Amino acid sequence: MNYVKTYIFILSLALSCTLTAQEKTIFQENFSFRGYLKYMQTLAFAGNTDLAVDNLFHNRLNFAYENQKGHKFVAEFRNRIFYGTSVNSIPNYGNLINEYNGVLPFEFLFVSNSNVVMSTIIDRAYYQYTSEKTQFRVGRQRINWGINTTWNPNDLFNSYNIYDFDYEEREGADAVRFSYFPTYMSSFDIAYKFTGDWKTDIFSAMYKFNNWNYDFQFLAGKFQEKISLGTGWAGSIKSIGFKGELTFFQPYDFVSKMNTSFSTSLDYSLRNGTYLMASYLYNSSGTNMLSDITNPIFEVPNAESLMPASHNIMGTTSYMFSPIFSGSLMTVYSFGINSLSLAPAATFSVMNNLDLDIIGQFFWQEFTDSPFQNIGNGVYWRFKWSF
């Protein structure tokens, strides 16, 4: 098992750099290593089908080296071992989970059979140079331009699925980015994401500033074969947080219809600490009608079409019951398509660096030929040890 050997070698190398830090050399001072180990079990069930039980060991290793002159190198590894119903029953499950939207060859499928799948994906690998007024970064990186709480039409480079709670870092993009900081509260960014084909590449510029107690941003660029123009803000109305993002996608031919992606949200924290958030998403390319197929819930969307329906609302609440126990509930409703999801979650801090999460995801939908019904459910429990 070469995979395991290499893995243990990397891990022990990293540990030796941090744990023997009695007398740190300059290299060790500049070097950082951290990560986590998670085990998650998924119980999936729907209607009369059998219960599917999936298991996932998930380890993350983050390495960074940054010297005093502004040079930084980052590499982050996502190592996963899957076994259970999906591995047993879905052909080519390994290829499915190892798929990555990028040009750099950083996906490694070490073992893939009907019993077990082992994969490593390097989802961050970049070089960065920072000076007082500028920053340059090249490689696989996260370019996060979202400013709204969830649903981010401005997040052109790395859209993510709101139900994919287990991938907290989210995918990186193979890109080049340059930032210029005219002042300490404003920035000008340009970024280019390579996909291997000019037609699907993404290029955009963004100007961001803070004024009147609001953060504002304006974007312009090329999104696949469209011109993209957008704006976003984060501020407040009295003591209620008020955020939003709007992006227009105009096809080059100027004949095809322009698409609009717009989201806005309000959030508020009650005196007892209960957090409340309500959000609305408009997707002009979405549907207003009932469908005869199941909503593609777990597909990774793009900034232009964040949800399958035109009009969607979301409500989120969270509350900390004690310093070691907190709970939350997210609910999403899509109009027209008439679909609903509920996602309750509880987090327990078992020890200082060990967490237990229990998460549920329940989905309902109405179809053209059948009434509103439950279409699928998942219950997840997960241990996470951070180091």
Given candidates 166, 215, 225, 366, which one binds other proteins under the rule CB under 8 A?
215
> Judged by CB under 8 A, which stretch of 85-93, 262-270, 363-371, 373-381 contacts other proteins?
262-270
Instruction: Give the SS3 label for residue 132.
Output: coil
The least distance separating other proteins from the CB of residue 72, rounded to whole angstroms, comes to 10
Closest contact distance (angstroms) between CB of 110 and other proteins is 25
In whole angstroms, give the CA distance from residue 353 to residue 143: 28
As a whole number of angstroms, the distance between CA 171 and CA 99 comes to: 11
Listed in sequence order, the residues at least 6 apart from 336 whose beta carbon sits closer than 8 Å to its beta carbon are: 286, 287, 288, 289, 290, 309, 310, 311
Q: Which of 118, 173, 191, 234 binds other proteins (CB under 8 A)?
A: 234
Residues numbered 37-76 forming contacts with other proteins, rule: CB under 8 A? 66
| Interface with other proteins in residues 304-343 (CB under 8 A) | 318, 320, 322-324, 326, 328
Binding range to other proteins, per CB under 8 A, among 182-190, 224-232, 305-313, 333-341: 182-190
Q: Which is nearer to other proteins, 58 or 384 (CB)?
A: 384
Q: Measure the CA–CA gap between 241 and 227, rounded to whole angstroms.
A: 30
Query: Strands 31-45, 370-386: parallel, antiparallel or unpaired by DSSP?
Result: antiparallel
Could you say whether residue 210 binds other proteins (CB under 8 A)? yes
- Is the separation of the CB atoms in 300 and 159 below 8 Å? yes
Is 96 an interacting residue with respect to other proteins (CB under 8 A)? no
Report the candidate in 109, 110, 88 with the shortest Cα–Cα distance to residue 98. Answer: 109
CA distance 121 to 106: 6
Per-residue tokens: 175: 């890109």
Q: Does 235 bind other proteins (CB under 8 A)?
A: yes
| 163 touches other proteins by CB under 8 A | no
With contacts defined by CB under 8 A, name the span among 45-53, 98-106, 145-153, 195-203 that binds other proteins: 145-153
Structural tokens at position 151: 């649903």
Part of the chain binding other proteins (CB under 8 A), chosen from 217-225, 231-239, 303-311, 370-378: 231-239
**Closest to 356 (Cα-Cα) out of 135, 117, 35, 38:** 38
Q: Which of 49, 91, 184, 371 binds other proteins (CB under 8 A)?
A: 184
| Residue from the set 107, 166, 225, 267 that interacts with other proteins by CB under 8 A | 267
Provide the minimum distance between the beta carbon of 94 and other proteins in the complex, in angstroms, as a whole number: 26
Nearer to other proteins, 270 or 289 (CB): 270
What's at 138, amino acid-wise? V
For the bound state, the minimum distance from the C-beta of residue 235 to other proteins, rounded and expressed in Å, comes to: 8
187 interacts with other proteins by CB under 8 A: yes
Q: How far apart are CA 95 and CA 334, in angstroms?
A: 31
| Residue type, position 336, single letter | G
Q: Are the CB atoms for 225 and 205 separated by under 8 Å?
A: no
By beta-carbon proximity to other proteins, the closer residue of 54 and 76 is 76
Within residues 286-305, the interface with other proteins by CB under 8 A covers none
d(CA 223, CA 142): 17
386 near other proteins, judged by CB under 8 A: yes
Run of H or E including 94: helix 93-98
Two tokens at 117? 């799948």
Q: How far apart are CA 30 and CA 57, in angstroms?
A: 30
Binding site for other proteins (CB under 8 A): 34, 36, 66, 130, 142, 144, 146-147, 149, 168-170, 181, 184-185, 187, 210, 213, 215, 234-236, 238-241, 243, 267-273, 275, 318, 320, 322-324, 326, 328, 345, 347, 349, 352-353, 355, 384, 386-387
